[in-house]
Amino acid sequence: MPDAPVPAAPAPHGSGTSGAATTAAASAVPVFPPGFLWGASASAFQTEGAADTDGKGPSGWDAFAAQPGRIKDGTDVGRGTGFHQHYREDVALLAGLGADAFRFSISWPRVVPGGSGAVNPQGLDFYDRLVDELCAHGITPAPTLYHWDTPLPLDEAGGWLNRDTAYRFAEYAGIVAERLADRVPMWITINEPAEVTLLGYALGRHAPGHTLLFDALPAAHHQLLAHGLAVRALRGAGADNIGVAVSHTPVWPAGDREEDRFGAELYDAISNWLFADPILTGRYPDENFAALMPGPVADDLATISTPLDWYGVNYYNPTLVGAPDAQALDSFSGFEMPAGLPFGIREIEGYEKTDFGWPVVPDGLRETLVQLHARFGDRLPPLYITENGCAVDEPARDTRRIAYLEGHLKALHAAIGAGVDVRGYFTWSLTDNIEWIEGAGKRFGLVHIDYETLRRTPKDSYAWYRDLIHAQKNGHTAAGHA
- Kindly list the catalytic residues: 192, 387
CA 195 centroid distance within chain: 10
Supply φ then ψ for residue 77, to 5 degrees: -70, -20
Rg value, the chain, Cα: 21
User: CA 243, CA 416: separation in Å to the nearest integer?
Assistant: 19
Q: Which residues contact 98 (CB under 8 A, 6 or more apart)?
A: 38, 466, 469, 470, 473
- Please write down the long-range contacts of 333-336, taking CB distance under 8 Å and 24 or more positions apart: 333/357, 333/358, 334/72, 334/437, 334/438, 335/199, 335/203, 335/205
Q: Shortest CA distance to 423 belongs to which of 380, 478, 376?
A: 380
Provide φ and ψ at 311, rounded to 5°: -130, 130
Rounded Cα distance, 341 and 348, in Å: 19
For residues 146 and 105, is the Cβ–Cβ distance under 8 A? yes
Extended strands (E) in 309-382: 311-314, 319-322, 331-332, 335-336, 344-346
With beta carbons less than 8 A apart as the criterion, state whether 68 and 74 touch.
no
Alpha-carbon distances, residue 20 vs 238, 460, 467, 468 (angstroms): 46, 7, 12, 14
- The CA-based angle 74-148-395, given to 5 degrees, is 50
Length of the chain: 482
CB 121 within 8 A of CB 58: no
